[in-house]
A and B are shown apart, each in its own frame.
Chain A
Amino acid sequence: DTAVSQTPKYLVTQMGNDKSIKCEQNLGHDTMYWYKQDSKKFLKIMFSYNNKELIINETVPNRFSPKSPDKAHLNLHINSLELGDSAVYFCASSELAENTGELFFGEGSRLTVL
């Protein structure tokens, strides 16, 4: 069983469209994250959810909206896509935020905006 799974793995779309990426973890973790990795491999935190509540938002544009229906799922919805949104988006999970050590990552979702 995959611990952290993301879908879709690849996403190609036009500027201005709206898209979603789904993430699920079966590790029983309380905290989930979305990271964005640019073309230079830099991983930057976007959101963190602890027990379905947003605990940090690193000045991400409000076109990005995380949604967590339960603690095992954290989806990312993006409105009005822009060229600069092209990147690989990684979902991750960990135990309680204040005890965060090891992050478990999904395999990533490569978003290409044309």
Chain B
Amino acid sequence: EDQVTQSPEALRLQEGESSSLNCSYTVSGLRGLFWYRQDPGKGPEFLFTLYSAGEEKEKERLKATLTKKESFLHITAPKPEDSATYLCAVRPASGGSYIPTFGRGTSLIVHP
């Protein structure tokens, strides 16, 4: 069964304190790995798609990387407005289902 595990479950940082979130996955082939940001009371908002090991994507203070078993979301010098839940999702390359499977998310709080 395809699985997506995110760690840590919760992370508290001081403003400016860089860190990384982890998403490890076991799928029968990978059609894509996705990162989303979810603010309280809102729907998830798309951040990045990664397709192959070694690929990297950047957006402002966020950088996503991908290996054959996991993805990292690096947050450089975070600000309080980066506080949110970050969700990872994967699409398997086989099995007939195109539907992304989500991890349980990492809740990030950045203190000023």
B41 within 8 Å of A (CB atoms):
yes
Indicate if the CB atoms of B100 and A100 lie closer than 8 Å.
yes
A90/B43 in contact, CB under 8 A? yes
In this assembly, does A103 line the interface, its C-beta being within 8 Å of a C-beta of chain B? Answer: yes
Q: Is A45 positioned at the interface, with any CB of B under 8 Å from its CB?
A: yes
* Inter-subunit contact A105/B99 (CB<8 Å): no
Contact A105 B105 (CB under 8 A): no
Is A101 a contact of B34 with CB atoms below 8 Å? yes
Q: Are B99 and A108 in contact (CB under 8 A)?
A: no
Does A40 lie within 8 Å of B104, measured CB to CB? yes
Report whether A107 and B41 are in contact in the complex, using a CB–CB cutoff of 8 Å.
yes
B45 and A105 contact, CB distance less than 8 A: yes
Contact check, B98 vs A97: say whether CB atoms are below 8 A apart.
Answer: yes
Interface size class of B (residues with CB under 8 A): 20 to 34
Q: Which residues of B contact A35 (CB under 8 A)?
A: 102
8 A Cβ contacts from A21-70 to B: 33, 35, 40-45, 48, 56
A4, B104: Cβ atoms closer than 8 Å: no
Please tell me if the beta carbons of A100 and B91 are within 8 angstroms of each other in the complex: yes
Q: Which of A42, A103, A104, A108 contacts B41 (CB 8 A)?
A: A108
A89 to chain B: closest CB distance in Å?
A: 11
Given A33-B99, A56-B99: A105 and B44 within 8 A (CB)? yes
Near A by CB (< 8 A), chain B positions 61-95 give 85, 87, 89, 91
Residue of A nearest to B105 (CB): A41
Query: Which single member of B32, B42, B102 contacts A43 (CB below 8 Å)?
Result: B102
Give the Cβ gap from B42 to chain A, nearest Cβ, in Å: 6
Could you say which residues of chain B place their CB within 8 Å of the CB of A43? Answer: 44, 87, 89, 102
* Interface status of A1 (Cβ within 8 A of chain B): no
Q: With A40-B104, A43-B102 given, is the CB distance from A102 to B49 under 8 Å?
A: yes
Residues of B within 8 A of A90 (CB): 43-44
Give the nearest-CB partner of A47 in chain B.
Answer: B99
- Contact in complex: A101, B32 (CB < 8 Å): yes
Q: Give B residues with C-beta under 8 Å from A.
A: 32, 34, 36, 38, 41-46, 49, 85, 87, 89, 91, 97-102, 104-105, 107
